[in-house]
Amino acid sequence: SAVISQKPSRDICQRGTSLTIQCQVDSQVTMMFWYRQQPGQSLTLIATANQGSEATYESGFVIDKFPISRPNLTFSTLTVSNMSPEDSSIYLCSVADSSTGYTFGSGTRLTVV
Amino acid sequence: GQNIDQPTEMTATEGAIVQINCTYQTSGFNGLFWYQQHAGEAPTFLSYNVLDGLEEKGRFSSFLSRSKGYSYLLLKELQMKDSASYLCAGRYGGATNKLIFGTGTLLAVQP
């Protein structure tokens, strides 16, 4: 299965600022996904990162708040913009690296103060 | 939404068997995954079902009924290290094949 390097692993940010999270995959993958996991809850899909086109966002998530880049088949970034304490969460990237397998990055634990 | 539901919490005894149920919306569905997640860690893959029936893998088994929109994860010979969250996830939608997660079940294994 694919190996994902996600960074930063954690950060503490001031409200109103932005943070960009990076995911690097060790192989080319068509689909990359970004999730949010709020404390004590399950994973919520933010968007699908498409190579060569705009990301596809799920209901409740918008590009202005969570801009995504996907410059090639091994890399993607998620930016959390104009942060507020409600954005404190774990953010995870994921790839579909086989017909049955989805692999996750180690996550970015974000605290907004 | 895809409305994937599972119990929030369960408790079981070491050495016993526990079944974690999951119901999901069938429209656009094309596969069911179970993941294990320990606190502070990323989810790890446990099982995948696309056809009806039981898939067995060691102490863990997973069952799927597509017509009923129902799955369960069966854990046998429970060990203390099995205390974790268990996430049911459905794969949906054509070209994107996105994975949608249920609410997660926090399992506590007691001595």
Taking the C-alpha atoms of residue A19 and residue A10, their distance in angstroms, rounded to an integer, is 11
Q: Tell me: the pLDDT tens digits for B31-78?
A: 999 999 999 899 999 999 999 999 999 999 999 999 999 999 999 999
Is the predicted pLDDT of residue A81 greater than 70, yes or no? Answer: yes
Looking at residue A31, what is its pLDDT?
86
For residue A103, the chain B residues in CB contact (below 8 A) are 45
* Pick among A3, A7, A41, A42 to test the B interface (most B CBs inside 10 A): A42
Is the predicted pLDDT of residue A88 greater than 90, yes or no? Answer: yes
Phi and psi angles of residue A77, each rounded to the nearest 5 degrees, phi first: -130, 150
For residue A44, the chain B residues in CB contact (below 8 A) are 101
Distance from CA of B100 to the nearest CA of A (A): 7
**Residues in B 20-59 with any Cβ partner in A closer than 8 A:** 31, 33, 41-45, 48
Looking at residue A100, what is its pLDDT?
60
Looking at residue B50, what is its pLDDT?
92
What is the residue whose two structure tokens read 């599972």?
A: B6
Taking the C-alpha atoms of residue A102 and residue A47, their distance in angstroms, rounded to an integer, is 15
Look up residue A58 and give its two tokens. Answer: 């799920």
Interface contact A42-B97, CB threshold 8 A: no
| 3-class secondary structure, B76 | coil
Tell me chain A's radius of gyration from C-alpha atoms: 13
Interface contact A45-B98, CB threshold 8 A: yes
Average pLDDT of the segment spanning B16-35:
94
Is the predicted pLDDT of residue A21 greater than 90, yes or no? Answer: yes
For residue B1, the chain A residues in CB contact (below 8 A) are 59
- Enter the DSSP assignment of B5: B
Residue B25 or A52, more confident? B25
Nearest CB partner across the interface for B96, out of A43, A48, A107: A48
Q: Tell me: the pLDDT tens digits for B93-108?
A: 766 688 999 999 999 9
A86: left (phi over 0), alpha (psi -120 to 50) or beta: alpha
Is the predicted pLDDT of residue A75 greater than 60, yes or no? Answer: yes
Interface contact B42-A105, CB threshold 8 A: yes
Distance from CA of B109 to the nearest CA of A (A): 18
Interface contact B104-A105, CB threshold 8 A: no
Q: Which residues partner with A75 through β-bridges?
A: A24, A72
| Chain B residue at shortest CA distance from A10 | B40
Is the predicted pLDDT of residue A14 greater than 90, yes or no? Answer: yes
Taking the C-alpha atoms of residue A112 and residue A104, their distance in angstroms, rounded to an integer, is 23
